[in-house]
Amino acid sequence: MKKIAIILSGCGFLDGTENHEAVLTLLALERSDAEAVCFAPNIMQHHVVNHLTGTVAEDESRNVLVESARIVRGAIANLRTIEVNGLDALIPITSLVKRIFCS
């Protein structure tokens, strides 16, 4: 069985991982008999977006790992603990991964 790491970056299409993309990727991996293991960085989000209005919520802060856990019902680990030698592939599900690692 292939072991695939999924990198998430929060929960929300405006300020994190888009839920549909994450769920559909996990479903596709399951249907392919691959084991998905999820990770997210244990950092604070750069900004929090109010998804009702689309505006930045200046007075809110959220942790990326905690928010990512919403999507996978807690089955997630800190990205710092990833063991790449045991993985067959890595899939980042966000446009924010670039910002997280390059900032």
User: According to the model, what pLDDT value does residue 63 have?
Assistant: 95
User: According to the model, what pLDDT value does residue 47 have?
Assistant: 81
Along the chain (103 residues), what's the average pLDDT of each consecutive run of 10 residues?
95 84 95 97 87 86 94 95 96 66 52
User: According to the model, what pLDDT value does residue 16 have?
Assistant: 83
pTM value is 0.87
* Cα 8 to Cα 73: distance, rounded to the nearest angstrom: 13
- Does residue 3 sit in helix, strand or coil? strand
User: According to the model, what pLDDT value does residue 7 have?
Assistant: 95
User: According to the model, what pLDDT value does residue 12 have?
Assistant: 83
